[in-house]
């Protein structure tokens, strides 16, 4: 193991490791290199971003994966990192700044099946398990406007960014993935490769999203695949991958 320098700075723990990289996190991470790379093979099981690609990361958290996406696409590529948890988003922006990721843009908000505002539940370290629990507009009774975060559909997000194509979209939004796809239309002609984390492994009915996700992708004519099961990692068997047929792809 290579040594890692860790120090407290304001609200964050800063981890200095590997080729000048820095990771701001809520709590100390003993193996930050592994923290930032352990899930990349799972996400890229069917497609690995290349130099010049456009990558959209829905549920980017504090930006651990963004460090890898930014390096993969290079200076000519673009990374869009979307996060709804306010604390995680602040750290996401800080990690982009600390690592001088000039090709990366952070977007604050929840991608869902409507436009308005959302409530985020959970206070897990580094926002790994925080999720949307309900939604509202600012006029609903007993709602503190300061506790709401912007909500938008995936189509609205891509349109607001003027993205004519997305080479790779990773979605890990803790159970809201089926809702997102139910309200999506234009994005299925824009996104070339998908990696979607479904949450059936949690064992609760409202988190059984794999069937709905694959049906939505199939209705729009995408090529589908599911990650092979792994008894040691039960969640990996609920990762859905999709690709736009080459005959329908634009530059």
Pairwise pLDDT comparison (146 vs 115), residue with the higher score: 115
| Residue 237 in domain | yes
Number of structural domains (the chain) is 1
For residue 12 the two structure tokens come to 């964050």
Residues 6+ positions from 71 with CB-CB distance below 8 Å: none
Q: Rounded distance, CA 194 to CA 223, Å?
A: 10
Mean pLDDT value across the chain: 89
Q: pLDDT band for 137, please (50, 70, 90 cuts).
A: very low
Question: Does the residue 9 lie in any domain?
Answer: no
What is residue 50's predicted lDDT score, i.e. its pLDDT? 98
Long-range contacts from 22-29, C-beta under 8 angstroms, 24+ separation: 22/95, 22/98, 22/99, 23/62, 23/63, 23/64, 23/67, 23/95, 24/62, 24/91, 24/94, 24/95, 24/98, 25/62, 25/91, 25/125, 25/126, 26/62, 26/87, 26/91, 26/125, 26/126, 27/125, 27/126
118 within some domain: yes
pTM: 0.91
Is 16 among the domain residues? no
Residue 139 pLDDT greater than 50, yes or no: no
Q: Which of 4-8, 17-21, 65-69, 128-132 has the lowest mean pLDDT?
A: 128-132
Average pLDDT over residues 134-152: 62
Report the percent of the chain where pLDDT is more than 70. Answer: 88
Whether 32 is in a domain gets the answer no
d(CA 186, CA 188): 6
**pLDDT (tens digit, 9 = 90+) per residue, 29-60?**
989 999 999 999 999 999 999 999 999 999 99
Q: Mind listing the pLDDT tens digit for each residue in 152-172?
A: 999 999 999 999 999 999 999
Residue 25 lies in a domain: no
For residue 144, the enclosing domain spans 37-248
Using alpha carbons only, what angle is made at residue 55 by residues 84 and 82, rounded to the nearest 5 degrees?
Answer: 5
Helix (H, G, I), strand (E, B) or coil at 180: helix
CATH code of residue 62: 3.40.50.150
Q: Residue 19: inside a domain, yes or no?
A: no
Q: Is the pLDDT of residue 103 over 80?
A: yes
What 3-state DSSP class applies to 155?
A: helix
Separation of CA 63 from chain center: 9
Q: Please report whether residue 17 resides in a domain.
A: no
């Amino acid at each position: 193991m290579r040594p890692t320098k860790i120090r407290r700075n304001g609200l964050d723990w800063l981890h200095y490791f590997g080729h000048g990289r820095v990771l701001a996190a809520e709590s100390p991470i003993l193996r930050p290199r592994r923290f930032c790379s352990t899930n990349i093979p799972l996400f890229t099981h069917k497609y690995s971003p290349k130099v010049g690609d456009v990558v959209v990361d829905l549920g980017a958290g504090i930006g651990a994966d963004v460090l890898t996406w930014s390096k993969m696409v290079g200076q000519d590529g673009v990374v869009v990192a979307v996060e709804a948890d306010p604390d995680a988003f602040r750290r996401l922006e800080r990690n982009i700044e600390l690592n001088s990721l000039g090709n990366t843009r952070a977007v604050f908000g929840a991608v869902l099946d409507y436009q308005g505002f959302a409530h985020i539940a959970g206070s897990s370290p580094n926002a790994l398990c925080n999720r949307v629990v309900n939604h509202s507009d600012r006029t609903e009774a007993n709602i503190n406007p300061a506790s709401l975060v912007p909500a938008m559909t995936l189509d609205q997000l891509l349109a607001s960014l003027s993205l004519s194509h997305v080479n790779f979209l990773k979605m890990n939004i803790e159970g809201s993935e089926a809702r997102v796809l139910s309200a999506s239309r234009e994005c299925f002609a824009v996104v070339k490769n998908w990696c979607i984390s479904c949450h059936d492994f949690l064992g609760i009915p409202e988190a059984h999203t794999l069937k709905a996700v694959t049906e939505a992708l199939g209705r729009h004519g995408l090529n589908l695949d599911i990650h092979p099961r792994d008894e040691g990692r039960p969640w990996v068997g609920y990762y859905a991958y999709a690709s736009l047929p080459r005959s329908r792809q634009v530059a």
